[in-house]
């Protein structure tokens, strides 16, 4: 493994940049203040070998193939944990900018593009009412972080049972409550999950109810 890190925080506009431009900007913990709202920050890592075309990158349990590597990408990754990941469903042949790595794969990490508008609306409301948002990069890790008391609540759309079943059990064993977005126990079937302590769960469900789905989502994976 050439490089391994854990996502620790999502900037307010990071997902919007992913949606509109297909770009995900990552930085290690020492994120410059002017970049904070646009990047996903992560733990410090050590790049053991240069990233090259043909390598596989795994983000949030999804695999992508490296199509092109910008001239400065490896140096920036070593110095600051910084690179711009550009996602494409197929190779467009576009030349990578110096600080970019172009990745080919199906679907964006974090959330599917089809539900980003609703996700961003909910996330905006959550951020306004909390001290901030965090993502570990995988739902199972997010749920374990919640169970350990390092975060207070969790929600996500369209997950697979194996993404959440074990983590949800750990939350329940720690005294937390796990439901779907309607407060029912259909989260394994719907893939929509919210978890928190009983008091916070009520508040989470109220926020989720303010942003109903306008269309029925379908899994395209």
Which domains, ranges and CATH numbers included, belong to the chain?
7-104 (2.40.33.40), 113-209 (3.40.190.80)
In order, the DSSP letters of the chain are: ------EEEE-TTHHHHHHHHSEEEEE-S---GGGGGGEEEE------S---TT-EEEETTEEEEEEEE-TTHHHHHHHHS-EEEEEESS---PPPPTTEEEEE-SS-SSS-GGGHHHHHHHHHHHHHHSS-----SSHHHHHHHHHTTSSSEEEESS--HHHHHHHHHHHHHTT-EEE-TTSSS-HHHH--EEEE-HHHHHHHHHHHHTS--SS------
Q: Does pTM top 0.85 for this prediction?
A: no
Mean pLDDT for each consecutive 10-residue tract of the chain (221 residues)? 85 78 86 80 90 90 88 95 90 90 76 63 83 73 90 86 91 95 91 90 90 44 34
């Amino acid at each position: 493994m050439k490089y391994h890190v854990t996502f620790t925080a999502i900037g307010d506009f990071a997902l919007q940049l992913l949606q509109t431009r297909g770009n995900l900007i990552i930085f290690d913990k020492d994120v410059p203040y002017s970049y904070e709202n646009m990047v996903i920050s992560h733990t410090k890592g050590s790049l053991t070998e240069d990233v090259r075309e043909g390598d596989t990158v795994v983000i949030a349990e999804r695999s992508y193939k490296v199509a092109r590597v910008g001239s400065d990408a490896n140096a920036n990754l070593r110095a600051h944990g910084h690179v711009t990941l550009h996602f494409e469903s197929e190779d467009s042949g576009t030349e990578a900018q110096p600080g970019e790595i172009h990745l080919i794969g199906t679907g964006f990490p974090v959330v599917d593009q089809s539900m980003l508008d609703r996700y961003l609306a909910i996330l905006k409301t959550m951020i306004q009412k909390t001290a901030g948002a965090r993502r570990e990069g995988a739902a199972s890790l997010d749920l374990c972080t919640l169970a350990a008391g390092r975060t207070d609540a969790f929600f996500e759309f369209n997950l697979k049972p194996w993404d959440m079943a074990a983590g949800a059990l750990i939350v329940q064993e720690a005294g937390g409550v796990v439901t779907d977005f309607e407060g029912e126990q259909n989260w394994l079937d719907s893939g929509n999950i919210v978890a928190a302590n009983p008091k916070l769960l009520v508040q989470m469900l109220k926020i989720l109810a303010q942003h109903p789905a306008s269309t029925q989502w379908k899994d395209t994976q």
